[in-house]
Structure 1
């Protein structure tokens, strides 16, 4: 499985050399941002501020499209997308993949299926604002789905941000050892609880 192989190849040298990363904690104001994104195959600019005007946002960072864990996570978000919508929440996936690769991944019925946007953070700057661990590019050429990959890889990390812009939950596979599916089901439970609390 590529994700496991990828982690095994890059984690050991990275952990020794990289400075410690502090992931933003619940109660922290979520940093505002805009990113180039794609939805149903169309490019646009995603604005966190605009999304929060509609309700909570589930912001998830993933290593790379077309790798096993990320494929599973995207597919699971897509199958649960109607439940997130019912809870008033917007989903956004973010990786360092190029927007051209994400365009294909986002519309693929096996992955995002055009049900939620994904965005490109090629410099890793937005991930850094959120304290997401970033593994550096692998040594040598790496090809995924016909594209040579030279970017870094975010550790799988999810933030649930309420409509007021506060982070109410954060999950990290690197720290909490949770599966891609648990990122989806865990964040869904949280946004449903937010909706229930709002209705009271």
Structure 2
């Protein structure tokens, strides 16, 4: 009976877990332009232009001002100077609560003005990165992005695609991939 209960619990948890997808490592990351905000100030983020300056660390998050997304933004904010020291551009992208992104980008409890966040109405960018939020039992993706992080080389090659709805490991994963890529570049 205990085994049956454990299997039923596992099945319920699995059904409630988002099904995530991402671009494969080694594939070409799509370029895009999007309305973005840095410390509350609007600008247009241009992925192609950002890549010309070095690697890009981009993370998709479901929605501004939700528990996990606030934590993730805060953790990226704490590491923003280290990403910059590694020569990387850091950008967050979301389809959720885009009307509050200016505020979110400046909030000291989230981004703290340390890196920009881009609006993705309808999760159009997330879909080109194969990162829309997909829920088990729902046929069509909702218009939100999954919690998926990418490290993209200046030539557009995806160096890391990391899916995890838990917010606390994305900084470690992206920083590790960035440092590994930089170490390879030094050896060339």
For normalisation by structure 2, the TM-score amounts to 0.82
Report the Cα offset of residue 185 of structure 1.
Answer: 1.0
What is residue 152 of structure 1 aligned with on the other side? Answer: 143
What is residue 58 of structure 2 aligned with on the other side? Answer: 59
SS at match of 1:154: coil
Deviations 1:30-79 (CA, angstroms, capped at 9, x unpaired): 01111110012111110000000011111111011111111110000000
Question: Aligned residue pairs: how many?
Answer: 168
Once residues 187 and 39 of structure 1 are traced to their aligned partners in structure 2, the CA distance between those partners, rounded to angstroms, is: 21
Superposed CA RMSD in Å reads 2.2
User: Are the counterparts in 2 of residues 63 and 96 from structure 1 also a CA contact under 8 Å?
Assistant: yes
Report the Cα offset of residue 97 of structure 1.
Answer: 2.9
User: Are the counterparts in 2 of residues 23 and 131 from structure 1 also a CA contact under 8 Å?
Assistant: yes
SS at match of 2:118: strand
Q: Specify whether residues 21 and 69 from structure 1 end up closer, same or farther in structure 2 by C-alpha distance, changes over 3 A only.
A: closer
Deviations 1:118-144 (CA, angstroms, capped at 9, x unpaired): 0010111110011113258xxxxxxxx
Report the Cα offset of residue 99 of structure 1.
Answer: 3.9
What is residue 173 of structure 2 aligned with on the other side? Answer: 186
1:29 aligns with 2:28: yes
Question: Of residues 129, 144, 155 in structure 2, which corresponds to 1:164?
Answer: 155
SS at match of 2:65: coil
For normalisation by structure 1, the TM-score amounts to 0.77
User: Are the counterparts in 1 of residues 123 and 132 from structure 2 also a CA contact under 8 Å?
Assistant: no
Q: Specify whether residues 79 and 73 from structure 1 end up closer, same or farther in structure 2 by C-alpha distance, changes over 3 A only.
A: same
1:99-138 → structure 2 map (5 Å cutoff): 99-135=98-134
Report the Cα offset of residue 100 of structure 1.
Answer: 3.2
Once residues 120 and 159 of structure 1 are traced to their aligned partners in structure 2, the CA distance between those partners, rounded to angstroms, is: 17
User: Are the counterparts in 1 of residues 77 and 115 from structure 2 also a CA contact under 8 Å?
Assistant: yes
SS at match of 1:32: coil
Gaps spanning 5+ residues in structure 1: where?
1-7, 137-150
Gaps spanning 5+ residues in structure 2: where?
1-11, 136-141
